[in-house]
Amino acid sequence: MPAPSSFRLIACAALAVALPAAFAADDYVASIEQWHATRIANLKKPDGWLSFAGSGRVQPGDNTVGSAEDNAIVLPKGPAHLGTLHLASDGGLTLSAAPGSGALIDGKPFERATLSTNADGATPTRVAIGATWFYVVKTGDVVGWRFRDPDSPARLAFTGIETWPIDPAWRIVADWEPFDPPRTIELVTSLGTPEQGTVPGKAVFERDGQRYELQPLSEDDGKQLFFIIADRTSGKESYGAARFLYADAPKDGKVVIDFNKAYNPPCALSPHVVCPTAPPENRLGLRVTAGEKKLAAVH
């Protein structure tokens, strides 16, 4: 609506100041839109989180593996009998391939191979079966298997994730209160297993006159903070177990928490993924109407 004539001079005088602010706001919205578009593109990749198509536990001793129902580990697709996976009492894992299985490791056929897991500080050994692959993971004391398929039903059905409207007011500059020494926090995974994380401090901010605190984990040698949060939208409008959020390391006693970048954890995208849930310290007593909403069923 045009300004009344009595205010035109004031409006014109203020224009030089208002325009940069308006452009900054537009740039901010565009940056969040680009961030989310990149996230969706990554989810759609053949090796993104949506490619998970099967999972389960590995029992001690011998576990036959294949797509046939008589296996201890039944894969969603692939050879009827891929081989035998052995879990030793010391936690070691070996896979003996069945003749003619077509399974490859590093592009080469094998008879017997030792498998690495995420707990070994390396990328889990990838056992390729055509375009699909199989590998083993450890979560606490639980040993499990995962099966990835670029043509998984979840990936093929995925159309995106709804978000709340981008609101710059949810980009919050919080006070940073370091812990000296850093503290250990107890986390519970979506599988119900315990995990521990290192918390370097807490972010403190106010919203609508109320004080709130969040305790992030330290990642990337302290260069980033990883927030696992829940709020009063959790389980209703947003995913119940948690949403994830990254922030840069604190600077000059401040940390920027941009809730417009709060996103669904991998376990919200697939039942075959285990991830940490929000600890009691990070369950906010307010509605965070920013970031990603609950994902429509894709599996």
- Residue ranges and CATH numbers for the domains of the chain are 49-157 (2.60.200.20), 159-282 (no CATH)
Looking at the chain, the whole-number percentage of residues with pLDDT higher than 70 is 91
pLDDT at site 66: 97
pLDDT at site 297: 60
Contacts of 30 (CB under 8 A, 6+ apart): none
pLDDT digits (tens, 9 = 90+) for 153-201: 999 999 999 999 999 999 999 999 999 999 999 999 998 888 899 999 9
- C-beta neighbour count of 58 within 10 angstroms: 22
pLDDT digits (tens, 9 = 90+) for 65-86: 999 999 999 999 999 999 999 9
Shortest CA distance to 131 belongs to which of 157, 151, 146?
151
* Burial (0-12, 13-18, 19+ Cβ within 10 Å), 54: buried
pLDDT at site 96: 98
Opening angle at CA 120, ends 89 and 65, nearest 5: 55
Calculated CA dihedral for residues 34, 36, 39, 41, nearest 10 degrees: -70
Residue 211: beta bridge partners? 206
Look up the pTM and report it: 0.83
Dihedral sign of CA atoms 164, 27, 33, 173 in order: negative
Q: What gap in Å lies between CA 250 and CA 261, rounded to an integer?
A: 17
pLDDT at site 22: 53
pLDDT at site 139: 84
What is the three-class DSSP state of 85? strand
The segments of the chain whose pLDDT lies below 70 read 1-23, 297-299
Could you say which DSSP state residue 89 is in? T
